[in-house]
Amino acid sequence: MSGNNPFDNAMAQLKKAAAYLPQTKELKQKLEILKEPQRIINVTIPVKMDDGIVRIFQGYRVQHNDARGPYKGGIRFHPQVSMDEVKALAFWMAMKCAVADLPLGGGKGGVIVNPKELSAGELERLSRGYARAIADCIGPDKDVPAPDVNTTGQIMGWMVDELIKIRGVKNKRDKEKLSSTFTGKLIKDGGSEGREEATGLGGLFVLQTVLTKLGKKGKLTAAVQGFGNVGFNVAKFLDEVGFKVIAVSDSKGAIFVPGGINPKLTLECKRKNGYLAGCYCSGSVCDLTKGKQISNEALLELDVDVLVPAALESVITKENATRIKAKVILEMANGPTTPEADTILYKRGISVIPDILANSGGVTVSCFEWEQNLKGQHWTKDQVNKKLKEKMQKETNAVWETSKKLKTDLRTSAFVVATNRILKAMK
């Protein structure tokens, strides 16, 4: 049974894929091990607020599996963070790194906080406090965190700086090596070219590969739920390659612009106003007559070719799956579709490109960043994007071929590919 508990949903996905694996006793035992996180770290982070009062924040780091390499995965700052959510996200990271064939395992972190209510100073103290709290459990060959929902390159920079202080590292080259503990850093702190847009660009490469297989061509329409780093960049890349993006949203609501939004202008307008409503930017102007406000739920049910959930988990459920009109769903969020919804969508002939493949571009370039820091290199944006494109196309093809061979959906196939790789690496 599964509902909207993300960890239960993740386990239901694994169970479905497990039926396609060789049923030997040894593999079954390894599969049992893969179901549980190897380590769960529970931390409290005291932070001195601007008014002088100390507030205690609750944080987690879940280290799911390191059979293929160090634990890898972002840190989320969100009021709805919970242990079950972080456990699911850590498990999905293990699967994601395996499906992208990276020498990394899976982990995830989270802090229960609404960062929008913090001042810049409070955010910095919380970030440094979290890094201190998990410092013993992370490192370039142990666990390598990164940004996730509401965390940025700047936050990674504070965390690296804190770790450098804790370890007392002075030498420049040693600092650079230690900085590989966190990826998604700003370029000035040792970040990789292309990392900021990597999740969005990787998603575009995966989508283009699948659309070619499906024989879908011409001017396609898209709706994107979410307008954070991932949602914005996906919308930007889709627009650049000729899609008409007719709707985007943030946590406060969605906008519907039938003429197709201009993502960059929309972002500028949102930054200026603080919200998306009224930012009906199409072509080179923002004009109140060009669009209207709709709900986040309505966005998901728009009649578009491609629907892109790029916000949080469990937004496509058994309640709304029957009303989805898109032909292809590109999962840029982690866990946006529940298992019941998956079954409904599959029966309705809607192709769901699963999160662990669709959004693996981000961690792929994180892996490049880690490699560059460890080797003391800095690759050009062209080099990064070329390697990203090759990887996304190769792994999308592998998942596609598996789905044809097993006659099943893309998520189950991605899970089969990933699980096989992890089980092979397990001792």
Mark whether 108 is an active-site residue: yes
Choose, by CB under 6 A, the member of 59, 69, 70, 73 that binds ligand GLU: 73
- Give the residues across from 329 on adjacent strands: 307, 352
Name residue 150's amino acid.
N
User: Per the annotation, does 420 bind a ligand?
Assistant: no
- Strands 221-225, 54-65: parallel, antiparallel or unpaired by DSSP? unpaired
Choose, by CB under 6 A, the member of 2, 179, 249, 366 that binds ligand GLU: 366
Tokens of 270: 């949102």
To the nearest whole angstrom, how small is the minimum distance from the Cβ of residue 202 to ligand GLU?
10
Which single residue brings its beta carbon nearest to ligand GLU?
74
Choose, by CB under 6 A, the member of 359, 373, 403, 413 that binds ligand GLU: 359
| CA 354 – CA 155 distance, rounded (Å) | 28
Secondary structure in 3-state letters for 298-336: HHHCCCCCEEEECCCCCCECCCCHHHCCCCEEECCCCCC
Q: Which of 87, 108, 244, 391 is catalytic?
A: 108
> Which region among 202-210, 278-286, 295-303, 359-367 touches ligand GLU (by CB under 6 A)?
359-367
Whether the Cβ atoms of residue 147 and residue 74 lie closer than 8 Å to each other: yes
> Quick one: 146 or 422, whose CB is closer to ligand GLU?
146
User: Per the annotation, does 96 bind a ligand?
Assistant: yes
Q: Is there binding between residue 72 and ligand GLU (CB under 6 A)?
A: yes
> Quick one: 184 or 260, whose CB is closer to ligand GLU?
184
> Quick one: 107 or 339, whose CB is closer to ligand GLU?
107
Q: How many CB atoms lie within 10 A of CB 112?
A: 15
Q: Is there binding between residue 183 and ligand GLU (CB under 6 A)?
A: yes
Tokens of 94: 């293990």
Distances (CA, A) of 49 to 45, 54, 55, 57: 12, 6, 7, 11
User: Per the annotation, does 199 bind a ligand?
Assistant: yes
> Quick one: 149 or 324, whose CB is closer to ligand GLU?
149
User: Per the annotation, does 387 bind a ligand?
Assistant: no
| CA 85 – CA 110 distance, rounded (Å) | 9
To the nearest whole angstrom, how small is the minimum distance from the Cβ of residue 137 to ligand GLU?
16
| CA 213 – CA 314 distance, rounded (Å) | 27
Q: Is there binding between residue 331 and ligand GLU (CB under 6 A)?
A: no
> Quick one: 81 or 321, whose CB is closer to ligand GLU?
81
| CA 291 – CA 310 distance, rounded (Å) | 21
- Strands 328-330, 306-309: parallel, antiparallel or unpaired by DSSP? parallel
To the nearest whole angstrom, how small is the minimum distance from the Cβ of residue 334 to ligand GLU?
5
Q: How many CB atoms lie within 10 A of CB 175?
A: 17
Q: Is there binding between residue 74 and ligand GLU (CB under 6 A)?
A: yes
Question: 134 to 173, contacts with ligand GLU by CB under 6 A?
Answer: 146, 148
> Which region among 10-18, 68-76, 119-127, 273-281 touches ligand GLU (by CB under 6 A)?
68-76
| CA 72 – CA 293 distance, rounded (Å) | 38
CA 190 from chain centre, in angstroms, equals 21
Q: Is there binding between residue 69 and ligand GLU (CB under 6 A)?
A: no
- Give the residues across from 122 on adjacent strands: none
| CA 182 – CA 189 distance, rounded (Å) | 10
Total residues interacting with ligand GLU, rule: CB under 6 A: 13
Q: Is there binding between residue 179 and ligand GLU (CB under 6 A)?
A: no
Tokens of 197: 């847009």
User: Per the annotation, does 72 bind a ligand?
Assistant: yes
To the nearest whole angstrom, how small is the minimum distance from the Cβ of residue 344 to ligand GLU?
25
Residues recognised as catalytic? 108
Task: Give the annotated binding-site residues for substrate.
Answer: 72, 96, 366
Interface residue list for ligand GLU (CB under 6 A): 72-74, 96, 146, 148, 183-184, 334, 359, 362-363, 366
Task: Give the annotated binding-site residues for NAD(+).
Answer: 199, 229
